[in-house]
Structure 1
Amino acid sequence: MKWQSALAIYMLFWAFSVFLVLPFGVKTSEEAGVDLVPGQAQSAPHEFNAKRVMLRTTIVATVLFAIFWLNYMFGWVTADMLDWAH
């Protein structure tokens, strides 16, 4: 596999991982004990820490990509194994 392909696949894992990580550690204003800003939805997060989300996303994406890469190298699960039509 070319490094460009590996990088593209890693970026896909990273983009997918953002949606896995976003809901964790979020507190609403009510849970934080702070008054809502006028016009703010009750479900909106009180505080957003982009660095923390990016770090968590990078860790999750790296673990997922490592599993993918190891499967690619050692062939644990192949396309032939997933072909149930035969």
Structure 2
Amino acid sequence: MRWQSILAIYILFWAFSVFLVLPFGVRTAQEAGADLVPGQAESAPVSFNARKIFLRTTIVATVLFLIFYCNYVFGWVTADMLDWVH
């Protein structure tokens, strides 16, 4: 696999992982005991720590990508194994 393909697939895993990581650790104003700003949704997070989200996303994406790449190299699950019709 070329390095450009590896990079593109990793970026896809990273973008997917953002949506997996975002809901974890979110605290609303009610849970944190803070006052709501007028017009603020009750479900809005109290604070947003981009570094923590970036770090968690990178860790999750790296683990998922390593599993994907090891499967690519070692052939644990192939397309022939997933062909249940024939």
1:84 CA drift (Å): 1.1
Q: CA RMSD in A?
A: 0.5
Match of residue 73 from structure 1: 73
Q: Residue 28 in 1 paired to residue 28 in 2?
A: yes
TM-score scaled by structure 1? 0.98
Cα distance in 2 for partners of 1:37, 1:51 equals 24
**Structure 2: 5+ residue runs without aligned partners?**
none
Q: Distance in 1 between matches of 2:76 and 2:23?
A: 31
Deviations 1:21-76 (A, max 9, x none): 00111100111111001110000000000110000000000000000000000000
Q: Which runs of 5+ in 1 are unaligned?
A: none
TM-score, normalising length: structure 2: 0.98
Q: Aligned runs of 1:40-51 on 2, under 5 Å? A: 40-51=40-51
Equivalent residue, structure 2, for 1:8: 8
Percent of pairs identical after alignment? 78
